[in-house]
Amino acid sequence: MCRVVDLRQAVLAKNDVAAQVLRTELTARGTTVVNLLSSPGSGKTALLERELLLARERGVAVAALTADLATENDAVRLARSGVPVKQVLTDGLCHLEAAMLGRHLDGWLPEDTRLLFVENVGNLVCPAGYDLGESLRVVLASVTEGEDKPLKYPTAFGLAQLVVVTKTDIARAVEFDEAAFRANVEQVNPGVEIVLTSARAGDGLGVLLDRALAAGSGAGTHTPVMARQQHGHSHEHDHDHDHEHERDHDHGHDEGGHDHEHEHPHVHTVAQTR
């Protein structure tokens, strides 16, 4: 077990270095990365499609990269916005990593891109510990998922710089307890902003875009307590994941020292163009 933990920490430390290099490179060219995390079915793609359309209407140069275990469905949906979209198929890998993201951006991301939205694999466990070189980390949760979600996934919610609640148009029907949800978020991430949205009704539309643009312009972003506790800056993520991550992802940390950058043929890309 100690060797597994040590190997995981080494892998994540390597990822942190790659993430900082990627962040520096993208910032120098004026590109801000927004990392979107959520469970499957949270409504992340629906909201992102609306935000991309709004960005295009405002004349903001924006692009999106979406990662899934299989299918290109999300990329097809997002491409309807008319912005550059790229699909990464991970064939079972439960998260993106900084080096992987950098490889997929190379030669694809337009030079004038001001915002890059990364729709991470639908999972609140594996992606939570991996910095992708983002300037803004957003965790989304739908009203159907339960008010205790932040307590069940403290790393994902604890490292968020913005929390977005989706599908609020059905909040009353599913008896969503907003006060309880807010209290649970506050318990793991004091002071983080919570935004209520409905892609269907248009509630809260544009807030995510505004926050992303603000982060890119140098406006201060929320620094989670969990991040401050780890090496003293906001892009150092949790190297001691909860046991859920250990159970879910030990396949990538065997005694043979599997290369966690995952340079293997099971990652495919499909570019969706304007």
Q: pLDDT tens-digit profile of 14-23?
A: 999 999 999 9
Q: What is the DSSP string of the chain?
A: -HHHHHHHHHHHHHHHHHHHHHHHHHHHTT-EEEEEEE-TTSSHHHHHHHHHHHHHHHT--EEEEEEESS-SHHHHHHHTTSS-EEEEE-TT--S--HHHHHHHHTTTS-TT--EEEEE--S-SSGGGG---S-SEEEEEEETTS-TTHHHHSHHHHHT-SEEEEE-GGGTTTTT--HHHHHHHHHHHSTT--EEE-BTTTTBTTTHHHHHHHHHHTT------HHHHTTTTSTT---SS--HHHHHHHGGGS-TT---TT--STT-EEEEE--
* pLDDT for position 91: 74
Q: CA-to-CA distance for 238 and 243, rounded, in angstroms?
A: 12
Tell me the pLDDT band of 1, cut-offs 50, 70 and 90: low
Partners of residue 175 on adjacent β-strands: none
Q: Is the predicted pLDDT of residue 149 greater than 90, yes or no?
A: yes
Tell me the pLDDT band of 117, cut-offs 50, 70 and 90: very high
Tell me the pLDDT band of 2, cut-offs 50, 70 and 90: low
Q: Is the predicted pLDDT of residue 238 greater than 50, yes or no?
A: no
Tell me the pLDDT band of 254, cut-offs 50, 70 and 90: very low
Q: CA-to-CA distance for 2 and 233, rounded, in angstroms?
A: 26
Q: Is the predicted pLDDT of residue 259 greater than 60, yes or no?
A: no
Q: pTM for this structure?
A: 0.82
Q: pLDDT tens-digit profile of 172-205?
A: 999 999 999 999 999 999 999 999 999 999 999 9
Average pLDDT over residues 111-119: 97
* pLDDT for position 4: 61
Question: C-alpha distances in angstroms, 117 versus 127, 128, 143, 208, 243?
Answer: 15, 16, 22, 10, 29
- The rounded mean pLDDT for the chain is 85
Of residues 230 and 232, the one with the higher pLDDT is 230
* pLDDT for position 93: 75
Average pLDDT over residues 32-53: 97
**The token pair that represents 252 in the structure block:** 């990538």
Q: Is the predicted pLDDT of residue 255 greater than 70, yes or no?
A: no
**Residues 6+ away with beta carbon under 8 Å from 90:** 67, 68, 69, 96, 121, 266, 267
Residue with tokens 């989706």: 166
Question: Over pLDDT 70: what percentage of the chain?
Answer: 82
* pLDDT for position 205: 98
Tell me the pLDDT band of 272, cut-offs 50, 70 and 90: very low
Q: CA-to-CA distance for 133 and 200, rounded, in angstroms?
A: 31
Residue with tokens 């080096």: 99
The strand order across the sheet containing 85-89 reads: 194-196, 162-166, 136-142, 32-38, 115-119, 62-68, 85-89, 268-272
* pLDDT for position 116: 98
* pLDDT for position 236: 41
Q: CA-to-CA distance for 60 and 64, rounded, in angstroms?
A: 13
Q: Any idea which of 78-87, 113-122, 251-260 has the lowest mean pLDDT?
A: 251-260
Q: CA-to-CA distance for 113 and 120, rounded, in angstroms?
A: 19
Highest mean pLDDT among 31-35, 226-230, 234-238: 31-35
Q: Is the predicted pLDDT of residue 165 greater than 70, yes or no?
A: yes
CA dihedral 67, 68, 74, 79 (to 10 degrees): 30
